[in-house]
A and B are shown apart, each in its own frame.
Chain A
Amino acid sequence: MEGGLQLVKKTLQSKGFPQVELSERRGAVVLEGEVQNWDDYLAAGYGAVGYGFRGVVNNITVSGLKNCFTESRPAVKDLSLDSSEFDVVIVGGGIIGCAIARELSRWDLKIALLEKEDDIAKHTSSRNNGMIHPAMAVKLGSKKHHYNLRGNRMYDQVAGELGFELEWPGSLALLTKSWQILLGPLAKRSARKKGLHGVKVFSRRKVKDLEPNIGDEQRGAFYMPESGIVAPYKVTVAYAENAIQNGARLFMNTMVQGFVMEGSRIAGVRTNRGIIQAGLVVNAAGIWSDRIAEMAGDRFFTIHPRKGVIAILDKKTRNSQKLILGRAQLNGRSHTKGGGLTPLIDGNILVGPTATETPDREDYSTSAKELQFLEENHLPLNKALKKDDFITYFAGTRACTFEEDFIVEASKYVENLVHAAGIQSPGLASAPAIAVDVTDIAVSILKKKADIKANPNFNPRRLEAPNPGKLGLEDRNRLIAANPSYGRIICRCEMVSEGEVVDAIHATLPAHSIDAIKRRARAGMGRCQGGFCTPAVLNIISREINSDITEVCKREPGSEMIVGRTKDKARAGYEN
């Protein structure tokens, strides 16, 4: 690789980074030194790609950039998991980790999934547009393409088994220039090569027939029928719950702090709740997956977060659009899907996401500028939409590597470590397929040491509470007659009953915070943003988990909603 390093050196010199020191470690090129700003850091990282190395480890420091980044860490510290033993420890409770837990639960294994937050799907898995991409915007031959195509094809079955909602509205990649329609045959050929079905080129008139509110500047579109929508956090919950029902254990507020190595093996996983003995470790740590790899001495890639800001529109806009709308990205070098307008499975329209590089992995703040960008760039795709329709907005970060491809493989240096890292868009579409492959890799490693049998009790179907809103009239009435709390609506915007909130609290994966209930049952997700239902939800949580109202949180401990009670003085005498 000596030659490779020379070439990287040359490239970086030509880009103006002669000061960057290069070395090779375990097949990856390691960059060190200092640059002026984050753009330079990124330019150097990208500049080192493509010279035959496994990956780019970008350890360049940025002058002036202090390590004062946002990162939530669990407040608890105990030994509740110390000396526990598991065949597989999965790091990360996003959609990838949860899907892997579920696929692994087909086998007779002791599985633990560790999540540093108080709930699963708190980061990238709940901060995306919920689109099951067709495998069109990905490079043929990449892992992204491989998993996107396979994952996309698996969704119908997975949705049937796990009981989450899935629709295939199809997507339009809109063209603003008439000549772009001439690229139609090329696009169709490329789609065929990539394994897509039914890709068509639509004239403006055809687009207008399908979407009467389409912006005036759109001249036509590429139509991709194999584009789906799901609620990504609900898919994650569904995977996690089925995994739990099949014997896997999920541990929240549990953060990996290091590994106990024995030679080239991980013997123990060091956490804030003690050291867990692990037969095998799966790295599904999303935006922190390079840190987990580093802890195991196997870092050969770098995650650089790419932030996406998203706005959600009022449900009353939903009828103004049927398909997923985006701008065609004819520039192959662009690293973003460009964002657009995505109908949501729950009936809203989502605007975005944007794509901006940021050094801060958990910076989910939004700014007026970003909102303005969404308003000016995405909203005009559908003329019926206006800024007044925004009911909320938020941000997420994508776990990008400099190679801009997924890493789904066994570690080359640590015997019992499997990486599912660098999973960014189209990670949601790819998750079912990635989980199957990671499971195969993991099981084949474990089989070297022991005989691994199938889980005799595995049930692919998730057992779940009823959803009155989806029942027919008679079934719904039967349900309400048996339990009137399903007839008592507490969230007026999303029509969520008390019974559904109670179910979410006592579900396989219990939801004990305002936000967790919002993600499960949608109470507080609507246009009033919890203005009306928050008091009711607080009371229901407090009653159901038998905790004082001042202990009920919006999210993790530290986010308590109520600081005290009035009239304590009067009650003190009575209650004693």
Chain B
Amino acid sequence: MPETLMTCIQCPLSCRLVVDTGSGELVVSGNQCRKGEEYAHDEIINPTRSLTSTVATIFPDFPLLPVRTDGEVPKDKIFEIMDIINSILVEKRLRPGDVVLEKIPGTGTPLIATADMREL
């Protein structure tokens, strides 16, 4: 597939980008600024996303702790990471920024708490 269509989400302009990989090199068109070109490159070569979810806790008054990856993770690993997230059980009252998982296996990215479990 030499041509890929995508929508740039770097600003509200939402440019429709056409990425041509036919020549072996990435040629982006449809963008109105440099950000669009960078976005297209990232999306083709190594699309990443930050992932947010919740993890279970042992506290009935705070049964779920919201978490996010501290940085972006490869898009194609999201479901694998969800599997890991789904098996975590938090046994301490954490605060935003506290580390839930030092390094998500398969990535170098930490998983951090995003809510204050002491706020009931």
- From B12-20, B39-47, B83-91, the one touching the partner chain is B83-91
Would you call B54 and A571 a contact (CB within 8 A)?
no
- Which residues from 561 to 576 on chain A have a C-beta closer than 8 Å to any C-beta of chain B? 566-571, 573-574
Tell me the minimal C-beta distance from B59 to chain A in angstroms: 11
Main secondary structure of the interface of A (DSSP, over half): helix
Query: CA of A570 to CA of B87 in the docked complex: distance in angstroms?
Result: 4
Given the complex, which residues of B lie within 8 Å of A568, measured CB to CB? 86
| Inter-chain contact total with CB atoms closer than 8 Å | 23
Residue of B nearest to A567 (CB): B56
Would you call A573 and B89 a contact (CB within 8 A)?
yes
Main secondary structure of the interface of B (DSSP, over half): strand
B58 close to chain A: CB less than 8 A: yes
Interface size class of B (residues with CB under 8 A): under 10
Would you call B86 and A566 a contact (CB within 8 A)?
yes
Interface string of B34-62 (1 = CB under 8 A from A): 00000000000000000000111010000
User: Which of B54, B58, B64, B87 makes the CB contact (< 8 A) with A569?
Assistant: B87
Given the complex, which residues of A lie within 8 Å of B86, measured CB to CB? 566-570
Would you call B58 and A567 a contact (CB within 8 A)?
no
Given the complex, which residues of B lie within 8 Å of A566, measured CB to CB? 54, 64, 86
Query: CA of A183 to CA of B49 in the docked complex: distance in angstroms?
Result: 77
Number of residues on chain A facing chain B (CB within 8 A): 8
Residue of A nearest to B64 (CB): A567
Interface string of A539-576 (1 = CB under 8 A from B): 00000000000000000000000000011111101100
Given the complex, which residues of A lie within 8 Å of B87, measured CB to CB? 569-570
Given the complex, which residues of A lie within 8 Å of B64, measured CB to CB? 566-567
Residue of A nearest to B86 (CB): A569
Given the complex, which residues of B lie within 8 Å of A569, measured CB to CB? 86-87
Most chain B CB neighbours (cut-off 10 Å) among A567, A569, A571: A567
Given the complex, which residues of B lie within 8 Å of A571, measured CB to CB? 56, 89
Query: CA of A244 to CA of B37 in the docked complex: distance in angstroms?
Result: 75
Given the complex, which residues of B lie within 8 Å of A574, measured CB to CB? 56, 58, 89
Query: CA of A573 to CA of B87 in the docked complex: distance in angstroms?
Result: 9
Nearest first, the 4 closest Cβ-Cβ pairs linking A and B are A567-B56, A570-B56, A570-B89, A569-B87
* B-binding residues in A (CB < 8 A): 566-571, 573-574
23 CB-based A-B contacts, threshold 8 Å: A566-B54, A566-B64, A566-B86, A567-B54, A567-B55, A567-B56, A567-B64, A567-B86, A568-B86, A569-B86, A569-B87, A570-B55, A570-B56, A570-B86, A570-B87, A570-B88, A570-B89, A571-B56, A571-B89, A573-B89, A574-B56, A574-B58, A574-B89
Known: A571-B56, A574-B58. 12 other contacts (CB 8 A): A566-B54, A566-B64, A566-B86, A567-B54, A567-B55, A567-B56, A567-B64, A568-B86, A570-B55, A570-B87, A570-B89, A574-B56
